[in-house]
Amino acid sequence: MSFNATTEPTWRAKLAIVHREIRSLRAEKTIVLALAIQLVIAGFSGFLVVGLVSLYDPSAVEGGEMAIAVTGEDREAILDIVNQQNTLSAQPYDDPDTAYDAFSERRVAAILEVTRLEDETLRITVTASDEGLGTTLLISELQESLRAVEFEERAANVDRLESQPLPVPETDGANPYVGFTYTILIPLLLFLPVFISGSIAVDSLIEERQRGTLELLRVAPLSFADVIDAKLVATAGLAPLQAVAWLLLLALNGTTIVHPGPLVVLVSVLALCIVAGGLGVALYAPDRRQAQLLYSAGIVGLLVVTTLLPEHPANTIAKFAIGSETTTTWLLLVGYSALGLGSYLLLRVGVSRLKTEGL
């Protein structure tokens, strides 16, 4: 009985501290701001990718045929191939000057001057206007055609080549954003809550130290380790909650998440690891500048050094999300769990050896 009598109030006190921590976050609306920030980051990277993909692959966005003039002695060599591209229509011009007039009068979007050199290579000079987006479109369409020309010309050189280029498989209807969604967006959305939780933990502990409110907590019926525990639970718990929210949002958006369970576990254990690390930093460093410097350097270091692993954590997330996981992926999940638990235990050992009077 006596055992129960002492533990129960401790639990209640711990819970009270967890509540206090979450209350302060709620009062400051920081969590709202945090979600907004993540949304903006995701939106921004989405914007970048949509922008980039459509710049490089404008056929993904719109159709329409562009006229181009083909001139020069060997124009016949490319005329047919360019005309096969349904976004381009090539018109032969015998006289370069007429072609140039057509270009100036906006009747053609570009001039291709084709000459065969002594070594049998084709030299193509493309004259296009520097009028921005239209030219970007034109050049990437032309690139397709010119690659086809290159392929044909190579085929003619068969006897001079040691190896043969492979025919490129024709594809259609692929969503160009799949790779981005799984390898960048999802890892980003799952990592950000973890890093934010760690940062909150650092700030929360440093602030209590600087304001001297940590002293007040010492009169509570808890050990210092319990106080740290409560902070850990409150901040590390936020990360998987946000992760679940993002995964739900993505699923609603039509992105299939094959293994949501392991992903949430992964975020939880990573949050445990990072938050424990953050609290450790905040216990070591007495000033916020120093603590945040250590924390952010540590995060950057971790992100880079983990490329040495058989799979980068971001790759692990991508594989779980798209459903291409292997034994290594599962083993790494187990490894991260062990790491999370290990860092927690390490923090406990550290805290128990700490002279709390010095804080």
Partner 1 sequence: MSGVSSEGMNDRGSLGRIWRIARWEVTRSAGTVDRKTIAVVLVLLLAAGFVGYSAVDDGVGLEDGLYTVAVDEESPYYEVATADRTFRTVDPGEPADLIIYANGHVNPAETAKGNAAHAAFSDAVERHNEALMIAESDTAAAFPVSVTLVYEQREPLEAVGDGDLEADDGDDGTEADGDSLATDGSSDDGTGSETADDDASAIATPEFGGGSIDDSSGPQTPGSITPPFPFQSLVLAFLFVVPMNFVIQAYGSTIMDERINRRGELLLVSPASRYEIVAGKTLPYLLGVTGLVCAIALVIDGGWLSVAAVIPIALLFLAATFVGAMFARSFKELTFVTVTISVFLTTYTFVPAIFTDVTPIALISPLTLVVLDLQGESVRAVEYLFSTAPFYLGSAVLFGLGLGSYREEDMFTQKPVPSKVIDSIATHVRGKASVFAMPIVFIPFVFAIQLLTVSLVFALPETLSLPIIFLVAAGVEEVAKSVHVYAGYAHSRFDSSVKTALGIGAISGLGFFVGEKFTHVVQLVGLPDIVEGQAAFGPTLAGDSLLVLAAIALAPLVLHVVTAMIGALGASRGRRSYLVALVLATAVHATYNLGVIVLVL
Give CA–CA dist 359/349, Å, rounded: 17
Does position 41 interact with partner 1 (CB under 8 A)? The reply is: yes
CA quadruple 285, 289, 290, 293: dihedral sign = positive
Does position 221 interact with partner 1 (CB under 8 A)? The reply is: no
Place of tokens 């270091």: 301
Report, in Å, the least distance between residue 334 CB and partner 1.
18
Does position 119 interact with partner 1 (CB under 8 A)? The reply is: yes
Per-residue binding letters, 268-297, with partner 1 (x by CB under 8 A): -----------------xxxxxx-xxx-xx
- Kindly identify the residues of this chain, within the stretch 182-211, that bind partner 1 according to CB under 8 A: 182-184, 187, 199-200, 203-204, 206-207, 210-211
Of the pair 101, 337, the CB lying nearest partner 1 is at 101
Does position 127 interact with partner 1 (CB under 8 A)? The reply is: yes
Which residues lie below 8 Å from residue 358, measured CB to CB, with a gap of 6+? Answer: none
Per-residue binding letters, 58-97, with partner 1 (x by CB under 8 A): ----------------------------------------
Q: Which of 7, 84, 89, 143 is the binder for partner 1 (CB under 8 A)?
A: 143
Give CA–CA dist 287/145, Å, rounded: 61
Q: Which of 7, 98, 175, 352 is the binder for partner 1 (CB under 8 A)?
A: 175
- Kindly identify the residues of this chain, within the stretch 300-329, that bind partner 1 according to CB under 8 A: 300-301, 303-305, 307-308, 311-312, 314-315, 318-319, 322-324, 326
Report, in Å, the least distance between residue 95 CB and partner 1.
13
Cα distances (Å, whole numbers) of residue 187 to 40, 175, 259, 278: 15, 19, 14, 21
Q: Residue-wise over 31-45: b if at least 16 C-beta within 10 A, else e?
A: beebbeebeeebeee
- Could you tell me which of 316, 296, 313 has the C-alpha nearest to residue 305? 313
Place of tokens 């945090």: 34
Give CA–CA dist 222/13, Å, rounded: 7
Does position 55 interact with partner 1 (CB under 8 A)? The reply is: yes
Report, in Å, the least distance between residue 247 CB and partner 1.
17
